[in-house]
Structure 1
Amino acid sequence: MLAAKVFGCRLVNPAKSPLSSIIFFAVLMFFMLVNTIISNTSLEPVAFTRKEDSQALQTLKVVRKTSSDVVLLPLPLTFSTQNKIIEVDNEHRDSPASSMSGKKEHGVGKFRRKVQEYGIFKSDDLTKKFHGRVMGFFNDGCEVHFFMTWFSTAESFGTRETMAVESVFKSHPNGCLMILSRTMDSVRGYRVLKPLIDRGFKVAAVAPDFPFLVNNTPAEAWFNEMKSGKKDPGGIPLAQNLSNLMRLLVLHKYGGVYLDTDVMVLKSFEGLKNTIGAQSVGGVSKNWTRLNNAVLVFDMNHPLLFKFIEEFALTFDGNKWGHNGPYMVSRVVRRVEGRAGYNFTILPPMAFYPVDWIKIGSLFKAPRDRAGSRWVEAKVQQLKGKTYGVHLWNKQSSKLQVQQGSVMARLMAEHCVLCKNVYTSS
């Protein structure tokens, strides 16, 4: 009988070798079993074989904690059917948000994703019109040039911020206010400001051109490093530090008055020139101990503004609250105060910061008795006589209700224009 080969093995006539026959069938069954296992594995669909795998892909998020909130960032994921490992896409592997990789981040672009969340870094057709829009907006008819910045959404520009804007025009009917904001420079933002515009007040939101503002300033190199992802923006919300810088740049470029959106103006700023306010003074010496940058009044190209911008860029630290804001202006003024060429005025706390942030809640409470009513009346008269604007320390007071009969209720009633929703906390 002819010999045959199966799987490379020579077959022997089973009649001549019973032992060989048994071995042959054992080998044959083994190869058939292996072949079946391989076939089933190769035909397994490229899909999740367990319910929890599917749920993990759909729900996995990274939680990034900041000083004020928790942001949930959904990340694109890849799934391996061979080893059942869920991975973060390479695009996000080097972002500050993807701490799940467990690897230390290195190289250019380390912080790029965090920085690019802010449209303020973009330069497009809208922002390129910035300078022309500023020059066209401010003219000889403007009593005082005011600037504010807004980095949040247009929807979050609430009644408290609108009240601050109203107070500007109550004391400066012929003033001009520009809100530097990409989000407010929109249909939604226009609707927020329209009631004031309809009453003839000159207010507008304009998307700023950051590259234009930093050009030929000490902050240009800082900006380029931040934009490229080479510089760590830190744990403090980047918008806060961008606002700290933008107010300096816009005053350096155009001059005028900068106000935080939680400053209620009580009287005209027209007589102020190259002015910064003290937040606190020494108990005995009465010399200032800390300045603040919530209100700044400066001519264009003032040398102190240049020093502020230089200090911001050279000593930037995004992990220390106030380091690039109130503490920064305090450091610079302490070095240059009294030097020739730096002509500016430091006003006492009563001018802009008449109530410390710890005690700001007292202005929102209604009096409970006759003594409380007398205190409210005395405080209102004091503020009306000595205060240009009250910094409301919005981080502390934004959720406080304005109670009827309180100091804030009196001030809002006397310094509003639209006078709507006075007693709300939003």
Structure 2
Amino acid sequence: MGRIIMFITQKKLLKDFQIQRPRLILPILVVSVVVLLVIYTTQDISTLIYRNYEIKDRSTAYNMGILLNKIFVEDVLLSSSKPPPGRTIFFHETTCYHPVTLFNVMNLTARQACAIESAASNNPNFQVFLLFACPTYRPLSGGQKLLIDAIESYKNVQFRQLNISNYARDTPIEDWIKKGDLLNSGFPMQHTADLLRLISLYRFGGIYLDMDVVVLRSLENVPLNYVGAHDNITLGNAVISLEPTGKGHEIAELFLRDYETNYNGKAYVKNEPALVTRVVKNLCGNDLVKLMQEGRISCQGLTVFNSTAFYPLGWPQWKHYTEPKYLEETMAITKDFYLIHLWNKASYKGLIKVGSSTALGIYAENHCPRVYTAAGDYF
């Protein structure tokens, strides 16, 4: 069985890399053998995320990335170009598509790519970092490469990978990560994503955005330290902004400590909006709901926007973005907002035909035109 897996892995790597130079084939095969020898046969995605750089021979794989014209994405902590504190917009990708080999090929959807392009185009003075939770390499051909090329045509877009153990070092969550509770998560990708956004903001400050948004306006002049309400009860975690120092850094620490205290590996949402709501309610007091109803408020230096800023339509209304019959109504509702949130868990199958008269199509054409062009027939 091991020989069969090894053969399939080697064949897959050769196909993905499309290496034409024979002298490079042997090193690639050696790397794949080394990696296979250290992976548990029953390893799942959460273990992959956890262990990706703890392999002794990981430096070999990293050097291979340099040798192969930087096919592999750099580690964010080892790179000479790091996120500028307080001047970075973060996105995170925790899917990890190749758990057998530990090598994750970039595999973004057109809508994810649109989120990145819209952030970069509307915020040219901010750096936009997409962080992968696994060792990742770039696609060398096909539609995926067209999307990646469209994003990287913006000089303020950076791709990096990270190792969660290293990334959590010197943060309040470091010891908890070492305990390995995240390995037992029933929703490893989601819970890792929930945690990484908090670590990024603790380390660098700036703005975190989910990858199912389209940014419609600049966020550069909005003072850092803010979140937005889903409704009059719950705050969202798809948009979080914190200063790298001072009160913002203190709030980031509160978020991380709450994550550890209230972590539930079996619950899908307890570590998401509920976390932000708990922490901010403690900052604002018991009048948070009333204050949210009144609009934008400030609690100990943290601004809370009501739903008109980032979540103009709730998840049950996601079809308003994708169906032509809602076009005029949706455009009227959302035209002055900072961004739209597409609620990917509900909307990911609701693809639209490129060029269709939908709110999503019009916003994509205006705010992520290069990705929209590269998407093909459907977006």
Structure 1 length-normalised TM = 0.62
User: How far does residue 263 in structure 1 lie from its aligned partner after superposition?
Assistant: 1.0
Q: Find the aligned partners of 2:183 and 2:197 in 1 and give their Cα distance.
A: 21
The match for 1:346 is 304
Match of 2:89 among 128, 131, 146: 146
The match for 1:308 is 255
User: How far does residue 163 in structure 1 lie from its aligned partner after superposition?
Assistant: 1.3
Q: Find the aligned partners of 2:329 and 2:320 in 1 and give their Cα distance.
A: 13
Q: Does 1:205 align with 2:174?
A: no
Q: Does 1:294 align with 2:246?
A: no
| Cα distance change on mapping 1:327 and 1:138 into 2, 3 Å | closer
Please tell me the residue identity of whatever aligns with 2:373: K
User: How far does residue 381 in structure 1 lie from its aligned partner after superposition?
Assistant: 3.7
Q: Secondary structure at the match of 1:204?
A: strand
Q: Find the aligned partners of 2:116 and 2:229 in 1 and give their Cα distance.
A: 23
| Cα distance change on mapping 1:217 and 1:346 into 2, 3 Å | same
Q: Secondary structure at the match of 2:312?
A: coil
The match for 1:250 is 200
The match for 1:365 is 323
The match for 1:166 is 117
| Cα distance change on mapping 1:407 and 1:303 into 2, 3 Å | same
User: How far does residue 264 in structure 1 lie from its aligned partner after superposition?
Assistant: 0.6
Alignment of 1:4-403 (within 5 A): 115-118=46-49, 122-123=53-54, 124-125=58-59, 126=62, 129-133=75-79, 136-138=81-83, 144-152=87-95, 153=97, 154=105, 156-183=107-134, 185-188=136-139, 191=145, 192-197=147-152, 199-226=153-180, 233-235=184-186, 237-272=187-222, 273-281=224-232, 289-301=233-245, 302-337=249-284, 342-367=300-325, 376-385=327-336, 387-402=337-352
Radius of gyration: which is bigger? Answer: 1
Does the CA contact (< 8 Å) of 1:278 and 1:290 recur in 2?
yes
Please tell me the residue identity of whatever aligns with 1:349: S
Match of 1:411 among 355, 359, 363: 363
Measured against aligned partners, the alpha-carbon deviations of 1:145-175 in whole angstroms (never above 9, x if no partner) come to: 1110001234531211111112112312343
5+ residue gaps, structure 1: 1-57, 59-90, 98-111, 282-288
Does the CA contact (< 8 Å) of 2:74 and 2:161 recur in 1?
no
Q: Secondary structure at the match of 1:148?
A: strand
Does the CA contact (< 8 Å) of 1:184 and 1:206 recur in 2?
no
Please tell me the residue identity of whatever aligns with 2:270: H
| Cα distance change on mapping 1:267 and 1:193 into 2, 3 Å | same
User: How far does residue 416 in structure 1 lie from its aligned partner after superposition?
Assistant: 1.6
Q: CA RMSD in A?
A: 3.2
| Cα distance change on mapping 1:113 and 1:399 into 2, 3 Å | closer
Does the CA contact (< 8 Å) of 2:226 and 2:241 recur in 1?
yes
Q: Find the aligned partners of 1:184 and 1:232 in 2 and give their Cα distance.
A: 18
Q: Find the aligned partners of 2:229 and 2:171 in 1 and give their Cα distance.
A: 26
Does the CA contact (< 8 Å) of 1:263 and 1:391 recur in 2?
yes
Does the CA contact (< 8 Å) of 1:193 and 1:203 recur in 2?
no
User: How far does residue 233 in structure 1 lie from its aligned partner after superposition?
Assistant: 2.2
Please tell me the residue identity of whatever aligns with 1:253: R
Number of positions where the alignment pairs a residue of Structure 1 with one of Structure 2: 297
Q: Find the aligned partners of 2:262 and 2:150 in 1 and give their Cα distance.
A: 42
| Cα distance change on mapping 1:118 and 1:200 into 2, 3 Å | closer
Does the CA contact (< 8 Å) of 1:251 and 1:257 recur in 2?
yes
Q: Find the aligned partners of 2:273 and 2:377 in 1 and give their Cα distance.
A: 29
Q: Find the aligned partners of 1:194 and 1:119 in 2 and give their Cα distance.
A: 29
Q: Find the aligned partners of 2:113 and 2:342 in 1 and give their Cα distance.
A: 14
| Cα distance change on mapping 1:120 and 1:351 into 2, 3 Å | farther
Q: Secondary structure at the match of 1:321?
A: coil
User: How far does residue 213 in structure 1 lie from its aligned partner after superposition?
Assistant: 2.7
Measured against aligned partners, the alpha-carbon deviations of 1:270-312 in whole angstroms (never above 9, x if no partner) come to: 122101010111xxxxxxx101111111111421111110010
Q: Find the aligned partners of 2:343 and 2:365 in 1 and give their Cα distance.
A: 20
5+ residue gaps, structure 2: 5-38, 63-72, 98-104, 287-297
Does the CA contact (< 8 Å) of 1:412 and 1:422 recur in 2?
no
Does the CA contact (< 8 Å) of 1:218 and 1:313 recur in 2?
no
Please tell me the residue identity of whatever aligns with 1:290: T
Measured against aligned partners, the alpha-carbon deviations of 1:245-285 in whole angstroms (never above 9, x if no partner) come to: 1111111111111111101100001122101010111xxxx
Structure 2 length-normalised TM = 0.69
